Amino acid sequence: MQTNPRIQQQLQKWVEENRGHVILGTTAQYIPELGKADPSKLGICMLDEEGNYYCAGDTDIEFTLQSISKALTFIALSCHYGLDFVLERVDVEPTGEAFNSIIPFEIHRPNKPFNPFINAGAITISALLPGQNSQKKYEYLLHFLEELVGHPLDMDREVYDSEWKASHRNRALAYYLKEAKFLEIEVEEALDIYIRQCSIKVSTKDLALIGLIIAYDGYNPITKVKHFSDEIAQVAKVLMVTCGMYNSSGNFAAHVGIPAKSGVSGGIMAAVPPKLHSQTYEFRAGAGIGVYGPAIDVQGNSAAGTMMLRQISKEWDLSIF
């Protein structure tokens, strides 16, 4: 089927209406290379189950995955070792603390990190990726992602170097993980694989496609390939709802209601499952969404991107709740 011009026009209109919200955020200054992004940018791509892309705004820019990679490592690792193996090593509980906080460890002394989307949990599971060293682990993840998006991917060297030099907090977290015996490899190697995965470059189209596959429980309805199991997709979506937008996850669930994962580069990947009883026709059979808006709020989510998703979800009745 062809793209629907009305949907395309609506999206364009909503991007322009939400552009003003970029002033509610700033680019991620703590990773200097990300701080250089243009904060006025805002773009979105939506993909339906027939393969129609609807893209509006600034969608010709590539950006790094950052924390969106945490959802993808979780899925890749669960595919390789099984969900039980991964859930023995990382929990699925939100923390209510910042994504790079050390407080939950100090206060609760848990027997595993709280969830794979906070930095501590993500560093723990990235270190478990198959491969003898961080290069091999990175290649494993990259290959898994290339299978999903259907084209080669690469890392942004400048962003990697910039984060590596600024990673004092993550280094401290990794030492903490090592001391608590959650980390089976050396600290520097764990940081290397973690920062590499955060530095993988994608487009809003790539995020829309991966979001669609997650929405369809690991199945790509366009190529008819099943990439991962229903069970893995289910837990990934639970994590996206409860922890995907960090300390805004409750608000995001209430006002947007779509499983999503954000990153400090300003990307958001969202998975809209099919909704047969939807009050509108648009994306009733589900969708994948990729957003880019590098001005992020204090919680680390694209400020204008979040507002735009709120409007889209309301207008097209996309909430899963």
Contacting residue, 126, 204, 220, 262, with ligand DON by CB under 6 A: 262
Distance of CA 277 to the CA centre of its chain: 27
Indicate the burial class of 102 (C-beta count within 10 angstroms; 0-12, 13-18, 19 or more): middle
Query: What is d(CA 230, CA 214) in angstroms, rounded to the nearest whole number?
Result: 9
95 contributes a contact to ligand DON by CB under 6 A: no
Any idea which residue has 């890749």 for tokens? 76
155 contributes a contact to ligand DON by CB under 6 A: no
3-state secondary structure of 228: coil
Distance of closest approach, residue 105 Cβ to ligand DON, in angstroms: 16
Q: Are 206 and 72 contacting, i.e. CB atoms less than 8 angstroms apart?
A: no
- Binding part of the chain for ligand DON, among 46-54, 130-138, 145-153, 258-266 by CB under 6 A, reads 258-266
Query: What is d(CA 218, CA 83) in angstroms, rounded to the nearest whole number?
Result: 14
Q: Which residue, among 61, 7, 92, has the nearest Cα to 285 in the 3D structure? A: 7
263 contributes a contact to ligand DON by CB under 6 A: yes
Which residue has the CB atom at the shortest distance from ligand DON?
67
Distance of closest approach, residue 199 Cβ to ligand DON, in angstroms: 8
Binding residues for substrate: 67, 119, 163, 170, 194, 246, 264
Distance of closest approach, residue 65 Cβ to ligand DON, in angstroms: 8
Site size for ligand DON (CB under 6 A): 12
- Three-state SS annotation for 45-75: EEECCCCCEEEEECCCCCEECCCHHHHHHHH
- Binding part of the chain for ligand DON, among 41-49, 71-79, 102-110, 256-264 by CB under 6 A, reads 256-264
Q: Which residues are catalytic?
A: 67, 70, 194, 246, 264
Interface residue list for ligand DON (CB under 6 A): 66-67, 99-100, 119, 163, 170, 198, 262-264, 300
